[in-house]
């Protein structure tokens, strides 16, 4: 089993390597590819040293699986070249997510969309992954009519640039003209002690690309284009972990106790919902965890079949690296271990 990680030195790529080791994924040969300025550097994996190679060398090595976290442009350029060699490509960018013949996969929900002929698989957006993990069992049981979503997304969703900007502003208390201030381009405004109603780029319709991902990707993963969805994405001064307030209107009536039982028995979900003890999901306690945490479950009395959920997860792990590794594990089990 030969596995390549493309974009191995980035925030998510590094976490992918860590999760591959944690999950003890069967790997006989690991190929780590990075940009030209990183070629030749070394990374330790499972006690051994691995030298970073170019993308061209990685393609030539013909890996069984290539996990991409190198940005959309690199994925568009190189993913098809890996695929032509018979490699299963798992791509973490938005480049392929809405392509009709490319599966958009959260393994606990729709791994069956991957076939032996599939060659490019898209990893969903981080905020989408954690949300559909909680919504999928509800949709199966009661049908979802409408979603109203507000997200509170950490700066790590913007990569190292976002983390660096927050750390820089916190260190210098946002004073202008401080050292290295010109290297903090993640956001158009201060993020320290601030909340920005701005994730991604603004579209002509007034929504952002991050908000549109929540709409389109959710419908694709849940295989239901009829769900009405509206979203507001906010960036908050938190280093890791995305939080979401999700209002759900279902087609069928439900009891809150039923919803709790569904979520408690869903693999990958941890129920944290005891307000009397101040127990509810938080970014702080979800950090560096692979599960999706759900709490503040309560009925919305303003509509017939409404409920509110608070959903939190580590966006770098389950929202990116862990989900991609889980897809790789599924592919190994289904297509390489028969």
Do residues 87 and 66 make contact, with C-beta atoms less than 8 angstroms apart?
yes
Quick check: 130 pLDDT over 90?
yes
pLDDT-derived band at 185 (thresholds 50, 70, 90) equals: confident
Quick check: 180 pLDDT over 70?
no
Catalytic, out of 50, 78, 126, 139:
126
Quick check: 31 pLDDT over 70?
yes
pLDDT-derived band at 337 (thresholds 50, 70, 90) equals: confident
Q: CA torsion, points 80, 83, 87, 89, in degrees to nearest 10?
A: 50
Catalytic, out of 50, 78, 139, 242:
242
pLDDT in tens, 272-315: 999 999 999 999 999 999 999 999 999 999 999 999 999 999 99
Classify residue 54 as exposed, middle or buried by CB count within 10 Å of its CB (0-12, 13-18, 19+).
Answer: middle
Distance CA 233, CA 113 (A): 28
Q: Largest alpha-carbon pair distance within the chain?
A: 61
Distance CA 190, CA 49 (A): 40
Q: Are residues 69 and 137 in the same domain?
A: no
Q: Are residues 204 and 224 in the same domain?
A: yes
CA torsion through residues 125, 334, 100, 72, sign: positive
Q: Are residues 42 and 8 in the same domain?
A: yes
pLDDT in tens, 207-223: 999 999 999 999 999 99
User: Taking the model in full, what pTM does it have?
Assistant: 0.95
Collapsed DSSP state (helix, strand, coil) of residue 60: helix
Q: Are residues 238 and 102 in the same domain?
A: no
Collapsed DSSP state (helix, strand, coil) of residue 6: strand
Among 228, 254, 230, smallest CA distance to 146 is for 228
Quick check: 236 pLDDT over 80?
yes
Percent of the chain scored above 90 by pLDDT? 93
Quick check: 174 pLDDT over 90?
no
If phi over 0 gives left and psi between -120 and 50 gives alpha, with beta otherwise, what is residue 234?
Answer: beta
Q: Provide the CB-side half-sphere exposure for 25 (13 A, CA).
A: 28
Q: Are residues 105 and 238 in the same domain?
A: no
Q: Are residues 268 and 170 in the same domain?
A: yes
Q: Are residues 142 and 231 in the same domain?
A: yes
Collapsed DSSP state (helix, strand, coil) of residue 98: coil
Average pLDDT (23-51) is: 94
Q: Are residues 150 and 38 in the same domain?
A: no
Quick check: 338 pLDDT over 80?
no
pLDDT in tens, 96-110: 999 999 999 999 999
242 is catalytic: yes
Do residues 305 and 252 make contact, with C-beta atoms less than 8 angstroms apart?
yes
Quick check: 181 pLDDT over 70?
no
pLDDT-derived band at 39 (thresholds 50, 70, 90) equals: very high
Q: Are residues 152 and 301 in the same domain?
A: yes
Among 3, 10, 7, 16, smallest CA distance to 319 is for 16
Give me the CATH number covering residue 94. 3.40.50.720
Give me the CATH number covering residue 210. 3.30.360.10
Q: Are residues 165 and 303 in the same domain?
A: yes
What mean pLDDT, rounded, does the chain reach?
95
Number of domains the chain contains: 2
Which alpha helices (DSSP H) does the chain contain, by range?
11-22, 55-60, 72-84, 107-110, 126-142, 159-172, 209-222, 256-264, 283-286, 322-335
Average pLDDT (186-214) is: 96
pLDDT-derived band at 111 (thresholds 50, 70, 90) equals: very high
Domain extent, residue 311, equals 128-315
Q: Are residues 165 and 283 in the same domain?
A: yes
pLDDT in tens, 68-77: 999 999 999 9
Q: Are residues 149 and 266 in the same domain?
A: yes
pLDDT-derived band at 230 (thresholds 50, 70, 90) equals: very high
Do residues 270 and 291 make contact, with C-beta atoms less than 8 angstroms apart?
yes
Average pLDDT (33-46) is: 93
């Amino acid at each position: 089993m030969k596995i390549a990680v493309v974009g191995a030195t980035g925030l998510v790529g590094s976490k992918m390597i860590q999760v591959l080791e944690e999950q003890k994924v069967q790997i006989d040969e690991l190929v780590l590819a990075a940009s030209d300025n990183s070629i030749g550097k070394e990374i330790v994996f499972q006690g051994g040293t691995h030298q970073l190679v170019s993308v061209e060398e990685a393609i030539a090595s013909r890996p069984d699986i290539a996990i991409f976290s190198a940005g959309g442009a690199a994925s568009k350029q190189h993913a098809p070249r890996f695929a032509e060699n018979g490699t299963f490509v798992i791509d973490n960018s938005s480049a392929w997510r809405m392509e009709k013949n490319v599966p958009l996969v959260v393994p606990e929900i729709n791994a069956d969309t991957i076939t032996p002929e599939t060659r490019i698989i898209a990893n969903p957006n981080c905020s989408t992954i954690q949300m559909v993990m909680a919504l999928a069992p509800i949709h199966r049981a009661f049908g979802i009519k409408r979603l109203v979503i507000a997200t509170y997304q950490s700066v790590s969703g913007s990569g190292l640039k976002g983390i660096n900007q927050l750390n820089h502003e916190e260190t210098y208390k946002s004073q202008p003209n401080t050292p290295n201030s010109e290297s903090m381009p993640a956001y158009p405004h201060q993020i320290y002690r601030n909340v920005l109603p701005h994730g991604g780029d603004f579209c002509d319709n007034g929504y952002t690309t991050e908000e549109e991902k929540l709409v389109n990707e959710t419908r694709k993963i849940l295989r239901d284009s009829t769900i009405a969805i509206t979203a507001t994405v906010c960036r908050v001064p938190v280093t890791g972990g995305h939080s979401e307030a999700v209002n759900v209107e279902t087609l069928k009536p439900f009891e809150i106790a039923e919803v709790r039982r569904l979520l408690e028995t869903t693999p990958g979900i941890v129920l944290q919902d005891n307000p009397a003890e101040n127990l509810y999901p938080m970014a702080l306690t979800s950090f560096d965890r692979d599960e999706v945490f759900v709490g503040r479950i309560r009925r919305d009395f303003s509509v017939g079949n409404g409920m509110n959920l608070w959903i939190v997860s580590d966006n770098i792990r389950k929202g990116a690296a862990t989900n991609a590794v889980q897809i790789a594990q599924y592919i190994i089990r289904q297509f390489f271990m028969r």
